[in-house]
Structure 1
């Protein structure tokens, strides 16, 4: 039917169907409308049964049907009045006119049946939409109302979360909700983040190593970062607040989802436009049919009856609700899995993709280098090569040095000696003193300078092999002999290969990788994980140009990135998808779809859900338009009268709502 249910207390009036009526809190609470519909049905049933089984005095029968009409028509009348006073003739108005016409004909039973089924359809629709919204509005209730603030004396006091300011320290007790987005400064615990990020497994949280440092939420590692509304595990945590309550990821999520509900999908815009012309056209047709007795050999009563039957048959209730109910159920189901879809347009567009472009660093790969290869030279032990490299690189703050130290220490546990006197050699490598020797770590050019000779063929070929597969390779040279080769690389995410394989099965033909890295690295990563078109050495403006070219070739292209440097390319694509949007403001703002938990493997789910939503929207349109197309000619020709028209018409509305609700169970 034409109206959507009242949104939760936190939401703005819903615009999904162009209505903003809120009759949620009637005399009997939220379900008043449903109770009224049931009461209408009871009075109608009693009236029908008594008139069939007994010689019921006519006034009593009419009284029962009038009671059914009053209960069934109460909300429809309110909404018809609101529509007419603001200059809109909507479906509720058509229904009231049809029921009044049937009553004027003395068809009290049909009038009561029409309003009973109409009000029941309304109530069921409101119930269905409320169910779809519940998983969304539940977000708003996730955040705790109060927090335990650590005060200057070292004690704690309870305050409202709204009072928390950036820099405050809050104490989070075991099994209680975390009140703010922030950084863990004391304690360690497993935190259930499923409500925000969709991660099914609790995430281990640890305190940051340096409490005095200033931290930024977007760049914090997952193990140090907390979100408001997530549930602490079995240990006490102390969290420094990095965002006030109104700016938390949770608060922004709620706002974005509410905005998404108001965004109409292409199909919805089409049906709304259709209704705008259709409803007045039906009213004009009914007006003409009322005058049919002037030219046909029939009474005014017969013309009037036919006009009312056509009015019921032609009301596009099912059409009005077919798309918004499916969009809302789809958005709600996605939110449960940690995928934020901003409205009907991206929900429909996702399912129509044939090509997807990925940013490489941080999307297909982990975004930070790892130690990947350790190749000792002849006569050198693996431990000696690693210990030397780690001791020297420990003195450097370069990201590649950090990767070597982290990777090496996993294998070594400890190193016996420290290196000293680090010296950076621009574009060549580094030099330091270790174990009584000068150690050089760097490229071939550095070693040619140090030794005055070309690098030995065995080492050169190892370097070449690593470089052709995208690794950054370095030679380690101590005193006067080669210790071997080590390499680092930004490795592919564990989920990248299975995700791309799942996308291929879904029929995504082209998977393009856009990266600023050189083409050799791009080709190596692409070959490893199954990318079809690797494009390397791209600047941000080149990525935008690549997306525009792909759109010309493919029609629809999604761009998936981390939302910061990829924002221009995302904005140019059909659907922009942000990775790890939890905590990243830019990603949430730019993207049409956000994978909250940084989980690439949620992408096939989102595309599958979109296709299911598109399928259900199409089915709903066929059902709703089909019923109108069959019923209108039948009632016009007098083959179907008011009773069957009422049942077929209202039945189709309920079918459409229940069909849309199937999306809530999408796996």
Structure 2
């Protein structure tokens, strides 16, 4: 143990979190003092030299630590090149130029770390969302405990205008909850209690109006919440964990630049070494050759290139997180920026995900309100999802309640239901049910049904006293924002938007026509959707698929970028999707694609700037047409420019 050397953690340890920046500034201050002493006073030379040496210390300490960690591993990177250039400048007596190099490089380094930390803080601020304690209701008393001590099925009390401590279901109270920290939704969402907590479904499948997330903010009414997830498993904890994993994932451009640096740096060192001996074949002094070599060393160092991509990637991911979107790494960010084809799951993605009553048409002796009352009384006795949807919508539309006139309801598999209503038989279902029950379907009724079926509706006939008295249709309606979202996607360059659905082709075509899809593929089994994705990839190379992250998992996994909607509360969606929209809002899709394209654009700009400066400076310095001061200014200036350019992403918004 005695031989174990203590690790030197200079960063953020000496005079606070901005130590590196302060050191860079001190480097500049002593450089300036030395320059003034040398040029404007008659003081002894050793005084200006001392000032330059102090400047060297403040400018070189962090760079030296970084380089010393890598040199034993055989890694010679940009830090090593800068130290070598500064030492060489000192050797030939160009202390001012060496100090200028270290000042600008250390300042660029400090700004780079500041930019990266700022982006990381924007993401990791999520970790501070959850409160540290929770008010638990136990044995009739309230107890304030650390959230780590919460258990499943604990009941916590959420006071007004306070943060919610755990993911769970509301069992008492109603309030509006600000979910912006998790989902990015700017408007508080109304929440109310769930009447029964027996046989609760999986957290993801509980109606969202009954559930709350840790880190969101309660409104003006107190709530009681049954805890369904432990602190470590809450949505916000999963989000923070995945963000920390995201940071380690390199984008394609980052991988390319890393490979480039791996062979580029040794070549630069070799060229610089050879330039030191130009005096052997040219009539010049060794110091002149060495000065040129050092200038080339500065000009050729790819500092700006090294930071150009990671700064942009992290800034883009941070901006997305601020808007309730988790982008899992640079690859997903860059790939999404190149997408021109998007495949959509239908149910719950482009549509509301639940059937809605679209038509109630009287066709016999009963008036509309009487027909509605008959259907409510009969369908309210059925547990079928369509029956519940019809009942709820009719009650709301016609202000009805069941009069309990129906009895003996029987479900006929695949056809509908029959029952007694006021002592007469009622049948509600498809034509097959009517035919089996020997009820005549008039030829004037069929065209009405066919038209509705063509437009994607599910149609049911209502027969009473052996006669058709009405027609009901239901449909999973498109989201209100679907059409405007697809229009916006088209405006930003998405050429093909295809819906993949297991529903009938008529349903797909009808919805596609309503909301502006390029194409709809219906009657698809899960394996058919995989085949459809393969065909799209073959045609368009890269595609995105948007779904809920659970259904259609094989198809989403096959796509270039998978986008899960409504990922808040869903561990599966967070795990499987490349991009997770925390809210259930499809209108966030243009934002994240626009952000990805802006990130891709800034990455290209940064690479162009960084390589452009190198390509310009290297020949000029080899020919001896400029001095080390100009090379330093251009070189380090480009590093600062690419960092500031990347930070623009933190303020990105859709135009």
State the TM bucket, normalised to the shorter chain.
over 0.9
**2:424 counterpart of 1:441:** no
Show the counterpart of 1:304: 290
Aligned to 1:455: 441
Corresponding residue number in structure 2 for 1:125: 112
Q: In 2, distance between residues paired with 1:204 and 1:147?
A: 22
Which residue, out of 101, 117, 139, partners 1:114? 101
Kindly state the Cα deviation for residue 354 of structure 1 after the two structures are TM-superposed. 1.6
Is residue 216–residue 242 contact of structure 1 (8 Å, CA) maintained in 2? no
Distance 1:234 1:289, change over 3 A: same
Q: Distance in 1 between matches of 2:8 and 2:350?
A: 45
- Give the Å deviation of 1:568: 0.6
The partner residue of 1:91 within 50, 60, 78 is 78
Rounded to whole Å, the distance in 1 between the matches of 2:97 and 2:251 is: 36
Tell me the residue number matched to 2:129: 142
What's the CA shift string for 1:72-103, capped at 9, x where partnerless?
Answer: 11101110111112321111111111111111
**Match in the other structure for 2:256:** 270
User: Is there any run of 5+ residues in structure 1 with no aligned partner, and where?
Assistant: 1-19
| Aligned counterpart, 2:208 | 222
Distance 1:475 1:414 in 2: 21
- Tell me the distance in 1 between the aligned counterparts of 2:8 and 2:326: 26
Aligned to 1:427: 414
Distance (whole Å) between structure 1 residues aligned to residue 254 and residue 621 of structure 2: 28
Q: Which residue does the alignment assign to 1:210?
A: 196
**Which string of whole-angstrom CA distances, capped at 9 and with x for unpartnered residues, describes residues 369-405 of structure 1?**
1111111125432211111111111111101001101
- Matched with 2:4 is none
1:580 maps to 2:559 = no
Aligned partner of 2:637 in structure 1 is 651
CA pair 539-21 structure 1, distance change in 2 beyond 3 A: farther
Shift in Å, 1:22: 6.5
Q: Is the aligned partner of 1:542 residue 2:539?
A: no
For residue 289 of structure 1, report the CA deviation from its aligned partner.
1.2
8 A contact 2:362–2:371 mirrored in 1? yes
CA pair 173-666 structure 1, distance change in 2 beyond 3 A: same
- Which residue number in structure 1 is paired with residue 179 of structure 2? 193
Offset of residue 239 of structure 1: 0.8
What are the equivalent positions in structure 2 for 1:152-163 lying under 5 Å apart?
153-163=139-149
Q: Secondary structure at the residue paired with 2:469? A: strand
Asked whether the 8 Å contact 1:515–1:522 carries over to 2, the reply is: yes
| 8 A Cα contact 2:23 2:59, kept in partner | yes
**SS at 2:484's partner residue?**
helix
Within 1, Cα distance between the matches of 2:80 and 2:294? Answer: 13
8 Å CA contact 2:298–2:635 kept in 1: the answer is: yes
**CA deviations over 1:450-481 (Å, ceiling 9, x no partner):** 3x353012322222111111111111122244
Query: How far did 1:21 drift?
Result: 10
Q: 1:355 and 2:341 equivalent?
A: yes
> Is the 1:459–1:484 contact (alpha carbons within 8 Å) kept by the matching residues of 2?
no
Alignment-derived partner of residue 471 in structure 1: 457
Aligned-residue offset at 1:619: 0.7
Distance 1:445 1:651 in 2: 78
How many pairs does the alignment contain? 646
Checking the alignment, whether the CA contact within 8 Å between 2:337 and 2:594 is kept in structure 1 is yes
CA distance in 2 between partners of 1:413 and 1:454 (Å): 32
Q: Secondary structure at the match of 2:353?
A: coil
Is 1:384 matched with 2:384? Answer: no
On the 8 A contact 2:12/2:20 being kept in 1, the answer is no
Task: Give the match for residue 299 of structure 2.
Answer: 313
- Between 635-644 and 214-223, report the one with greater CA deviation: 214-223
The equivalent residue for 2:29 is 42
Within a 5 Å distance, the mapping from 1:335-346 to structure 2 comes to: 335-346=321-332
Q: Is the 8 A contact 2:275 2:293 kept in 1?
A: yes
Contact kept, 8 Å, 2:439 with 2:468, in 1: the verdict is no
Matched, 1:176 2:153: no
Inter-CA distance 654–114: structure 2 relative to 1 (3 Å threshold): same
On the 8 A contact 1:21/1:79 being kept in 2, the answer is no
Distance 1:165 1:22, change over 3 A: farther
Contact residue 172 and residue 223 of structure 2 kept, 8 A? yes
Distance 1:603 1:328 in 2: 19
Q: After TM superposition, what 4+ stretches of structure 1 lie above 3 angstroms from structure 2?
A: 20-24
Measured in 2, the distance between the counterparts of 1:71 and 1:229 equals: 42
1:663 aligned partner? 649
Map of 1:601-620 to 2, 5 A cutoff? 601-620=587-606
For residues 545-580 of structure 1, the C-alpha deviation after alignment (integer angstroms, 9 at most, x for no partner) is 110111111111111111112111111111111111
With normalisation by structure 2, the TM-score equals 0.97
**Alignment RMSD:** 1.4
For residue 252 of structure 1, report the CA deviation from its aligned partner: 1.0
CA distance in 2, matches of 1:455, 1:481: 8
In the alignment, does 2:57 pair up with 1:57? Answer: no
Counterpart residue number, 1:370? 356
For residues 416 and 364 of structure 2, the distance between their equivalents in structure 1, rounded to whole angstroms, comes to: 23
- Map 1:446-525 onto structure 2 (within 5 A): 446-450=433-437, 452-525=438-511
Contact 1:417/1:435 (<8 A) preserved: no
* Alignment correspondent of 2:66: 79
Contact persistence 1:567–1:587 (CA under 8 A): no
Q: Secondary structure at the match of 2:209?
A: helix
Instruction: After TM superposition, give the deviation of residue 415 of structure 1 in Å.
Output: 2.5
User: Structure 1 CA distance, aligned partners of 2:10 and 2:379?
Assistant: 68
1:597 is matched with which residue: 575, 579, 583? Answer: 583
Shift of 1:416: 5.6
Q: 1:614-644, CA deviations, whole angstroms, 9 ceiling, x for partnerless residues?
A: 1111110010001111111111111011110
Contact in 2 for aligned 1:26/1:33 (Cα 8 Å) = no
Task: Identify if the C-alpha distance between structure 1 residues 440 and 31 changes in structure 2 by more than 3 Å, giving closer, same or farther.
Answer: same
Correspondence for 1:68 = 55
Contact 1:102 1:111 in 2 (8 A): yes
> Please, what TM-score do these two structures have when normalized by structure 1?
0.95
Q: Distance in 2 between matches of 1:303 and 1:564?
A: 65
Deviation (angstroms), 1:607: 1.1
Q: Choose which of 275, 284, 287 in structure 1 pairs with 2:270.
A: 284
Q: Is the 8 A contact 1:149 1:158 kept in 2?
A: yes
Mapped to 2, the partners of 1:358 and 1:544 lie a distance apart of: 13
Does the residue aligned with 2:144 lie in a helix, a strand or coil?
strand
